[in-house]
Amino acid sequence: MKRRTLIGGLLAAPSIPMLASAQDGAWPARPIRLLVGWPPGGSVDILARILQPRLQAVLGQPVVVENRPGATGSVGAAEAARSPADGYTWLIAVDSHAIIPSILQLPYDTRRDFAPVTLIGRGPLVVTSHPSTPWRSFPELVAMAREQRPGSINYATAGIGTMMHVAMVQLCNVAGIQLTHVPYRGGAPALQDALAGHVPLFVTNAPVGGPHVRSGALKGFGVTTRAPWRDLPGVPSFHELGFQGYEAPTWWGVFAPAGVPVQIRRRMEAELARLLAEPETRSRVEAQGMDVLATSGDSFAAFVESEMDRWARVVRENKIRVEG
């Protein structure tokens, strides 16, 4: 597959000088927090720790990655939403940020309380199976699932309301099968059980699952991008497998609490775009299974709005909810 790396037009923009904040003087003047609503070892945490040292260098202040896992990323998002809008707290989030508002009652309003800064990148989800399972491909799994009692085959994800969850619900609808969802509190703990064979199927993103598919520790059944993924040779897309039009890529982005001065948001947007254009940083991000995008804040805001509408329909039509 031809590599497509798109870097936003911000790279051609003139340098944005350090701008004054009414409360804090020249920004940044003290340490900055990068909030991650997921446990260490997952894709969001990996991305944050790739960006952290370079952001620290260009901004001239310590940048601290802070993990606040729980409730499909919403614990970390809630911490970001209630933080002062002064440019010293930023949220690195994954696609579930636009999905979970349709499932949970949250202590914040995703549209009102956040300002999208940049869409860092997109990539595939991959449906995997433990080598001990009897099926060798997704079509074989579909055939067996149709013969067995509906819901008798389990699949694990990083949690309720993740892209892995809703994308798999949509894929099951297209395939005409029923599987049982087993949610975990993040991709890393789900991965451990998948590798141990405690769950037969594991739906994850390329940063988490890719290395284990390539090593043979997990079987790769298909990716959710329209075409096969460059770093998972031999793993077809579900579109190729006959599920015409099915596509559900995962994505990662940076948000600020609403009210952060636009000048500071634009500075962060521009710095992230420059960092993601650096060959070394870009190659490290791409190695995690992402296509780098580095879009503008306005473009990202429109994208998030469309994602919230799209997945709200899937949640509503499939009555997805938190049990208990």
Mean pLDDT split into 10-residue runs, the chain, 324 residues: 39 37 70 95 91 97 96 95 98 96 95 98 96 96 94 93 94 95 88 96 91 96 94 94 91 97 97 97 91 96 97 94 66
User: Parallel, antiparallel, or unpaired: how do β-strands 114-123 and 291-292 relate?
Assistant: antiparallel
Cβ neighbours around 17 below 10 Å, total = 9
pLDDT tens per residue across span 11-63 = 333 333 333 333 445 999 999 999 999 888 888 999 999 999 999 999 999 99
CA angle 29/33/39 to nearest 5° reads 170
**Any residues with CB less than 8 A from the CB of 280 and at least 6 apart, and which?**
none
For every residue of 205-226, DSSP letters joined together read EHHHHHHHHHHTSSEEEEESSS
Q: What gap in Å lies between CA 282 and CA 278, rounded to an integer?
A: 6
d(CA 73, CA 214): 28
**Which pLDDT score is estimated for 186?**
78
* pTM of the predicted structure, to 2 decimals: 0.84
**Cβ contact 225:247 at 8 Å:** yes
* Strand, helix or coil for residue 262: helix
pLDDT digits (tens, 9 = 90+) for 136-151: 999 999 999 999 999 9
Q: Is 14 exposed, middle or buried (0-12, 13-18, 19+ CB in 10 A)?
A: exposed
Q: Work out the percent of the chain whose per-residue pLDDT is above 70.
A: 92
